[in-house]
Amino acid sequence: MEEKITQTAGREQLGAFAPTFAHLNDDVLFGEVWNAAAIDTKTKCIVTVVSLMASGIIDASLAYHLQNAKAHGVTKEEIAAVITHATMYVGWPKGWAVFRLAKEIWE
């Protein structure tokens, strides 16, 4: 059985300002969706990285999820192949941006 994913960033960073959003982030997204058994955590990490990449989100959120992917067994070779493949669909500049972050995390 995989380790249960838990998250408290929503409450820590936005709990007082946006308690409903904090609940959805920590309890629903990370508490339920990330812990659903239909696909493994490594696959969820890859899907999340590609989703953020496709959306053009290349900030600390993507860095966090790249680190999470590495922590859950995504290898340097796998992430390079995933980013290369996704680049063909989401755009060359996005691929470059994600590779810059991924290179730092896997080195």
pLDDT in tens, 43-67: 999 999 999 999 999 999 999 999 9
Determine the average pLDDT of the residues in 23-40: 94
Calculate helix-pair angle for 41-55, 76-90, nearest 10 degrees: 40
Close Cβ partners of 106 (under 8 Å, ≥ 6 residues apart): 70, 76, 79
**pLDDT average, residue stretch 73-84:** 98
Q: How do the domains of the chain map onto residue ranges?
A: 1-38, 41-106
The CATH label, of 1.10.1060.10, 1.20.1290.10, 3.30.365.10, 2.60.120.260, for the domain at 41-106 is: 1.20.1290.10
- Residue 18's pLDDT band (cuts 50, 70, 90): very high
Give ∠ CA 89-84-53 in degrees, rounded to 5: 60
For residue 85, the model assigns a pLDDT of 98
pLDDT attached to residue 54? 97
Enter the pTM of the model.
0.90
